[in-house]
């Protein structure tokens, strides 16, 4: 059976995450081994030549699922008919830059991209924002796309989710595949809260298996939350292959569903669940099915978790207020 190719737009295609991401999309890891794709690569004019080089390499792989590659510096072209958009390109924080400057610089990227998605993307568009500050960049893009259902704009906390699983597996000696129902709450930043109180290790409650609140507070949470900075310190560059892998996982799970008895973490527009103010893009535990997601409801949030969720959500509301003041939403 021949399937219609899915149009996948990647921004920042010539960057280091782009380089780790594009080959996996083209080989079928994003959407599935039987789903053909057209790639649309968006770069700034200075990045177009490098993106063309990557496209030459993609050609040289002769991927059976890759039906076409278009490279452009025009967001309206890049998002035309897009079914999936991975917004990776962003303005990094540079020396002496205040948080407000960073938000303003990224507003200049994500506001026009949101508008271009609004005006040009396919009706079933799904957006994942990877570029930092990912949650608030997603909010800016979503606000600029009033004709697209708000829930289609998501931010990546899957890397944090994967990091937390790996740390928990190392601590307990469990296999990664035995760990389920872990949650990242809040912002993709150092305030994020990786929650193991509802997680399971081979069917047993993870917090009970660990039974060490000091390790949780003083080792696990800071290790996961500051892992991005630790990678930068060690590698001299921010995470790229693991970030690309998480982007693949995020979209694959969104499209293909979570396994029975498990959930994942996604940054999504809050509906007010768990006391998170409606509208901000915060990470929640979600299950996915048939291309849609739902927040896992009814979890009992203990005092330890409540304080940490509230702290991260407070940071998100401050970021929202800052971009509102800048007229970006």
Ligand X SMILES: NC(=O)c1ccc[n+]([C@@H]2O[C@H](COP(=O)([O-])OP(=O)(O)OC[C@H]3O[C@@H](n4cnc5c(N)ncnc54)[C@H](O)[C@@H]3O)[C@@H](O)[C@H]2O)c1
Ligand Y SMILES: O=C(O)C[C@H](O)C(=O)O
Separation of alpha carbons 75 and 226, rounded Å:
33
| Residue from 26, 69, 156, 266 binding ligand X (CB under 6 A) | 156
Answer yes or no whether residue 240 interacts with ligand X by CB under 6 A.
Answer: yes
Picked from ligand Y, ligand X, none, the partner binding residue 36 (CB below 5 to 8 A depending on kind) is: none
Picked from ligand X, ligand Y, none, the partner binding residue 11 (CB below 5 to 8 A depending on kind) is: ligand X
Separation of alpha carbons 265 and 155, rounded Å:
10
| Residue from 25, 26, 201, 243 binding ligand X (CB under 6 A) | 243
Q: Tell me the per-residue interface mask from 83 to 112 with ligand X, x by CB under 6 A, - otherwise.
A: -----xxx-x----------------x---
Q: For ligand Y, which residue has the nearest CB?
A: 228
Phi-psi region of 104 (alpha: psi -120 to 50; beta: other; left: phi over 0): alpha
188 is catalytic: yes
Q: Binding site membership for substrate: which residues?
A: 93, 99, 132, 163
Picked from ligand Y, ligand X, none, the partner binding residue 182 (CB below 5 to 8 A depending on kind) is: none
29, 161, 188, 198: the active-site residue: 188
Picked from ligand Y, ligand X, none, the partner binding residue 231 (CB below 5 to 8 A depending on kind) is: ligand Y
72 vs 264, beta carbon nearer ligand Y? 264
Q: Tell me the per-residue interface mask from 199 to 238 with ligand X, x by CB under 6 A, - otherwise.
A: ---------------------------------------x
User: What HEC string does the chain produce?
Assistant: CCCCCEEEEEECCCCHHHHHHHHHHHCCCCCCCCCCEEEEEECCHHHHHHHHHHHHHHHHCCCCCEEEEEEECCHHHHCCCCCEEEECCCCCCCCCCCHHHHHHHHHHHHHHHHHHHHHHCCCCCEEEECCCCHHHHHHHHHHCCCCCCHHHEEECCHHHHHHHHHHHHHHHCCCHHHEECCEEEECCCCCCEEECCCCEECCEEHHHHHCCHHHHHHHHHHHHHCHHHHHHHHHCCCCCHHHHHHHHHHHHHHHHCCCCCCCEEEEEECCCHHHCCCCCEEEEEEEEECCEEEECCCCCCCHHHHHHHHHHHHHHHHHHHHHHHCCCC
* Contact set with ligand Y (CB under 6 A): 132, 159, 228, 231, 238-239, 243
Picked from ligand Y, ligand X, none, the partner binding residue 221 (CB below 5 to 8 A depending on kind) is: none
By CB under 6 A, what part of segment 31-50 binds ligand X? 42-44, 47
Q: How far is the CB of 29 from ligand Y (least distance, A)?
A: 20
Q: How far is the CB of 97 from ligand Y (least distance, A)?
A: 13
170 vs 229, beta carbon nearer ligand Y? 229
The catalytic site residues sit at 188
Contacts to ligand X by CB under 6 A:
11-12, 14-18, 42-44, 47, 88-90, 92, 109, 130-132, 134, 156, 159, 188, 238-240, 243
């Amino acid at each position: 059976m021949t399937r219609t190719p899915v149009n996948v737009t990647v921004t920042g295609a010539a960057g280091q995450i782009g380089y780790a991401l594009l080959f996996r999309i083209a080989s079928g890891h994003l959407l599935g081994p039987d789903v053909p794709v057209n790639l649309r690569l968006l770069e700034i004019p200075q990045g177009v030549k490098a993106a063309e080089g990557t496209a030459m390499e993609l050609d040289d792989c002769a991927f059976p699922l890759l039906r076409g590659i278009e490279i452009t510096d025009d967001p309206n072209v890049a998002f035309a008919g897009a079914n999936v958009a991975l917004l990776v390109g962003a303005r990094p924080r540079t020396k002496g830059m205040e948080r407000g400057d960073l938000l303003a610089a990224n507003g200049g990227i994500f506001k026009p991209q949101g508008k271009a998605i609004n005006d040009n993307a396919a009706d079933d568009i799904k957006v994942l924002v990877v570029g930092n500050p990912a949650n608030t960049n997603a909010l800016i893009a979503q606000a600029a796309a009033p004709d697209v259902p708000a829930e289609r704009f998501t931010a990546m906390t899957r890397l944090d989710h994967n990091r937390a699983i790996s740390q928990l597996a190392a601590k307990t000696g469990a296999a990664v595949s035995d760990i389920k129902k872990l949650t990242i709450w809040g912002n993709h930043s150092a305030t994020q809260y990786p929650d193991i109180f509802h997680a399971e290790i081979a069917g047993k409650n993870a917090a009970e298996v660990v039974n060490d609140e000091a390790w949780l507070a003083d080792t696990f949470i800071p290790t996961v939350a500051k892992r991005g900075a630790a990678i930068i310190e060690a590698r001299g560059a921010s995470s790229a292959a693991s970030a690309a892998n998480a982007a693949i996982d995020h979209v694959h799970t969104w499209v293909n569903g979570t396994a029975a008895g498990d959930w994942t973490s996604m940054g999504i527009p809050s509906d007010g669940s768990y006391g998170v103010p409606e509208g901000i893009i915060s990470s929640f535990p979600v299950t996915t099915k048939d291309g849609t997601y739902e927040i896992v409801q009814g979890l009992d949030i203990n005092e330890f978790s409540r304080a940490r969720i509230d702290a991260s959500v407070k940071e998100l509301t401050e970021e929202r207020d800052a971009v509102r003041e800048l007229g970006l939403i």
